[in-house]
Amino acid sequence: MSPIFYALALVALVLAAEGLHASLAGRSQRNRAAVRKRLHSISRRLEDPGHADTDSMLRQSDSDKNILEALFDAIPGRQEIQLRLYRAGLATTAERFIALSVALAVGGFVLAFAFLHDVGRSLMFSGAGLLPWLQMSRLHAKRLARFEEQFPDALDLLIRALRAGHALTTGFVMVGKELPDPLGSEFSQVADEVQLGQTMHKALTNLAYRVDSPDLPFFVTAIAIQQETGSNLAEVLENLAGVMRERFKLHGKVRALTAMGRASANLLAGWPVVTVAALYVVNPGYVAPLWDDPQGHMLVMTSIVMVVVGYVLCRKMATIRV
């Protein structure tokens, strides 16, 4: 085997280890304050494009960017990747995330080629570059669920602050200090934007853009109407909090009723792997054609596609939006 393959594998593994270390360090409990500070700085660059000013004090200037950030600015969709990373709560840059994905893809291909000596079969292992994207999607869903779970409590605290005679901005500051991440940091960012000169409507629009929660547009609309017409904001927010809690109760009932469908999807995806592994332990020669015969390769690929399609269909049927 040529030494170039081992050199590339070593470089890929080093880059992957560095990226995983940065991600794990960002998610650790002891670095939570540093992560919150880092996300706070990133959020200043994630204004809604439809409401962002070119000379906004909240956006990062070109002089503040390093050479690597300036080079990666030319990549299409970089801003979208950075936004998705922020929504997942990952205090890393789009440059490092892309480098990690490329390193895992190259490392998976090189290591597979070193053992299989087949380019076509080794290309399948380059799919390891998709692992960071899957992890990002999982963390995004988890962070969004935690935000929506905290939202009614934040509304209750904001209502008490308004009824006590505090200003709306002061209520956002109180929510940011009292509640943990992710809701606490997001509301604190809104208060900081308003104190730095942004209008309340634009700051809340940026909040809805950063978090992408289906409940935030109702919250933003309620505050916008109150500022224009002078309605009772505390009563409106109280009704909104009640509707959200009732929706969560209904969502819990729906998840309980669709648990069998999700379990069927998991069983459908895992049972073929368990069956093949058990047959290999009992009689290795019986399943050897799956990786020794070209027709076995085609059979394996067809089976994987059919299992994935069946899993997706089962999950879709068991997913009901409330």
In a domain, 247, yes or no: no
The pTM of the full predicted model, rounded to 2 decimals, is 0.72
Query: Are 229 and 165 contained in the same domain?
Result: yes
Q: Could you give the number of structural domains in the chain?
A: 3
| End position of a domain, from candidates 81, 112, 139 | 139
Domain that holds residue 124: 3-139
In a domain, 35, yes or no: yes
Residue 101 Cα to chain centre, angstroms: 15
The CATH number for 227's domain is: 1.20.81
Query: Are 71 and 186 contained in the same domain?
Result: no
| Rounded Cα distance, 207 and 191, in Å | 11
Query: Are 133 and 212 contained in the same domain?
Result: no
Query: Are 89 and 23 contained in the same domain?
Result: yes
Query: Are 231 and 285 contained in the same domain?
Result: no
In a domain, 210, yes or no: yes
| Rounded Cα distance, 133 and 141, in Å | 12
Query: Are 68 and 167 contained in the same domain?
Result: no
Query: Are 233 and 272 contained in the same domain?
Result: no
| One-letter-per-residue 3-state SS of the chain | CCHHHHHHHHHHHHHHHHHHHHHHHHHCCCCHHHHHHHHHHHHCCCCCCCCCCCCCCCCCCHHHCCHHHHHHCCCCCHHHHHHHHHHCCCCCCHHHHHHHHHHHHHHHHHHHHHHHCCHHHHHHHHHHHHHHHHHHHHHHHHHHHHHHHHHHHHHHHHHHHHHCCCCHHHHHHHHHHHCCCCHHHHHHHHHHHHHCCCCHHHHHHHHHHHHCCCCHHHHHHHHHHHHHHCCCHHHHHHHHHHHHHHHHHHHHHHHHHCHHHHHHHHHHHHHHHHHHHHHHHHCHHHHCHHHHCHHHHHHHHHHHHHHHHHHHHHHHHCCCCC
Query: Are 77 and 112 contained in the same domain?
Result: yes
In a domain, 204, yes or no: yes
Query: Are 185 and 295 contained in the same domain?
Result: no
| End position of a domain, from candidates 211, 242, 273 | 242
Query: Are 19 and 130 contained in the same domain?
Result: yes
CA nearest neighbour of 82 among 136, 158, 142:
136
| End position of a domain, from candidates 209, 242, 275 | 242
In a domain, 169, yes or no: yes
Per-residue pLDDT 10s for the chain (322 aa) are: 555 555 556 566 666 666 555 555 445 444 556 656 666 666 656 677 666 555 554 555 555 556 656 666 666 677 888 889 989 888 888 888 888 888 888 888 888 888 777 777 778 888 888 889 999 999 999 999 899 889 999 999 999 999 998 888 999 999 988 888 889 889 998 998 898 888 888 899 989 888 888 888 889 888 888 888 877 888 889 998 998 888 888 888 888 888 888 888 888 888 888 888 888 888 888 888 888 888 888 888 888 889 888 888 888 887 777 6
Query: Are 22 and 116 contained in the same domain?
Result: yes
In a domain, 250, yes or no: no
In a domain, 122, yes or no: yes
Q: Based on the number of CB atoms within 10 Å of its own CB, is 80 exposed (0-12), middle (13-18) or buried (19 or more)?
A: exposed
In a domain, 249, yes or no: no
Query: Are 133 and 64 contained in the same domain?
Result: yes
